[in-house]
Structure 1
Amino acid sequence: MTSYVEALEHLNQTVELHEKWDLEKISQIIARPNATNIQIVGTNGKGTTALFLQKILCAHGFNVGLFTSPHLVNVTERIRYNANCISANEFGKVYMELRDIFDEKQLSYFEKLMVVAAEFFCRHPVDFVIWEAGLGGRLDATTAIKNDIVLFTPIAKDHSEYLGDTLEQIAYEKFFVSQYAKKVYSSPQSQIVQNFMQKQAEIYCKEIFFIPQVSNFYIAETGTVFDIDNQKITIPMLGKHYAQNAALAWNAAQQTLKQKFSVEAGKQALENAAWPGRLQIVQRNADKYVFCCAHNMHSLQSDLEVLKVLREKDILSKNTGVIFAVTRNRPAQQHLQMISKIFPNIVVTAANAQHPIPQELQQQNYAIANEFGDAVRVLQKQGIHDYLIIGSIYLVGEAYKYLELEVRS
């Protein structure tokens, strides 16, 4: 474990400088796994789409590497081989072997982890490696792999300070990656984004396969029910957007595997897939915790539609207490206004030690708690037993630590 501790200490000292992205630099040092490399790009739903695709491919007997971000509790969650996260020992070993290169090239936190993942996958037999893009696409480290297949989840406005203020600018940054791919698949997009993608596809001489909207969709207590290929499927995650992510993964796997694709294997894979913290409900005696990682306007709107249904079905009580946190550069006031229309009892707290409560929220008429445990106690004193944890994946991570939950998928 010594190398793992040393690796974390070195990694956590990394200074993040987005304005110094340099794809050429990481391209010179990264090892490309000898496999079919698949990149997941978009604004929301990348992680669940990546998970669904990995589960489907593994169910067909393939060895699959998976790189995602961010993590809830441990950094090892970001690098997975089939059903398992990389072990702390192996992470530490690979990282420390690469440490001198990291220092020389001055890589970012995300870039370091991706290089570790690539090296790890090169040391194991892999048929497919799935890379979830971090931010954007054109200059994202995952693009250095020059992936064989690209999947686009819904594209919306987010990270405008890096990607641009318009949907066309953001779509350009993301769709740029498709020029390297042999196959391109996309979830349904807004008309503006779809038109732009089709024009760019003509420039890159690429054909895009747009996945149709899922049909016969509804939310049940066991999850989300919908149809694919005349099969009724139930996934553990709640919401049509998760069903659409599953459909994207299903179609990409089906087109890739062709005659080898098994409908039954695909169905079982989706029904057994779980992505912690994504509209996840955890019962602890009389207390119910609902975790929601939505952190931008697009994802928050989608999740609130589901949460409203849960309240109408009495799966969540009318007096559910909200524990809210947000990271910098997020429209916190707009998020709170949207949430308070459904759940008005809100306690604002810090996302984690690195993301304190924004100053403007401390001056508003909200209950304030320094950390997650304090927020729970504020609501407990009001006799509340249903808790909605929302606004930041870092806050969900803090809740996982507080409740001593294990991250499983």
Structure 2
Amino acid sequence: MPSILPDGEPAPEDGSLPPSVRAGAEDRPFGVYVHVPYCRVRCGYCDFNTYTASELGGTSRAEYAAQAETEISFGGEVLRRAGLPEREASTVFFGGGTPTLLPAADLVRMLDRIRSVWGLASGAEITTEANPDSVDSAYLNTLADAGFTRVSFGMQSAVPSVLATLDRTHAPERVPLVVEWARSAGLQVSVDLIYGTPGETIDDWTQSVEAALELAPDHLSAYALIVEAGTKLAARIRRGEIVAPDDDLHAEMYELVDDRFTAAGYSWYEISNWSTSDATRSRHNLSYWTGSDWWGVGPGAHSHAGGVRWWNVKHPRAYAERIAAGVSPAFAREILDDEARRSERVLLETRIADGLPTDVLQPDERRAIPELIAAGLLDGRAAIRGRVTPTRRGRLLADTVVQRLLR
């Protein structure tokens, strides 16, 4: 089943935010995330808040764009009432689910409402995720003509048996076609891979990595498969049908992909992400790791403003009911104190190549830096420049780095 929402305090029905969100807002970029909670089939490993046609409980995909438009307008009013400065969206990201299961015109409608409510900054990055079998050339051209700048394809693997284990529905030969169509439309291209699928060998993974590099995308992501409780994949492992992923194999696969991507001219900028240049990094995802504000639209979507986080009801039916009633779709929220925000900053910014400024750490925490450098987990040259940046070994042991800094 889709993921469970976290606990929190009740969210106000009018969406009101505390005065604390105004502090420093002028210096925080603003973005918009639009969650499209629909999939043709649910992949066996997926724990995201997504629904197939039989799980929609009487709601319709055809009504979703109008519901999202209503929430966008509601969000503009909430931020205005909170006294936040007017900020154009510097990034917009349509994720899911499979956003491109909706007609291209629906994505354009939602983007147009964002443009009319908040505005789009000059050079705004506007991305949609897509499955390789959910778009064609005409679809991608429609998005590009409307202002989309980037598409992220869920390739996951180039090996049919691995795709079958993951319950992916596309054929490997489809990926080069959609990448070429996206390029012809003038869109930047990102390709996502997953490693550590049960039964996947180093040779399988090498084949997938090389196939992704042959596409010469602007951006590449490689994520370790995490077996989430309650998923079909977890049930198959529990029944002994397939073997759980191995941590040592995960590490070997990560080192292989980092070597191959680096040799091909890509640079890592976050543990699981590589780009051809600073200009082709995912600015939207970087905004999450660096504490920006964003409004999350749709069922289960999360939002953040100045240390206040809130998240919407997760089922499309409950979401539609709240939108129709004219109240906030938020289920709950949490207000982080200064120390919680600082700890979270350490957790997130030690994941990125730009690193964490050393002065964010308390004096006793900074004393752990030499120990972490000696252990090969932090970059000594970056530390001299006043940044806490992981080595490749540190990327593999990111949780250990954070625990030693914050202990």
TM-score by length of 1: 0.29
Higher relative contact order (CA 8 A, sep 6+): 2
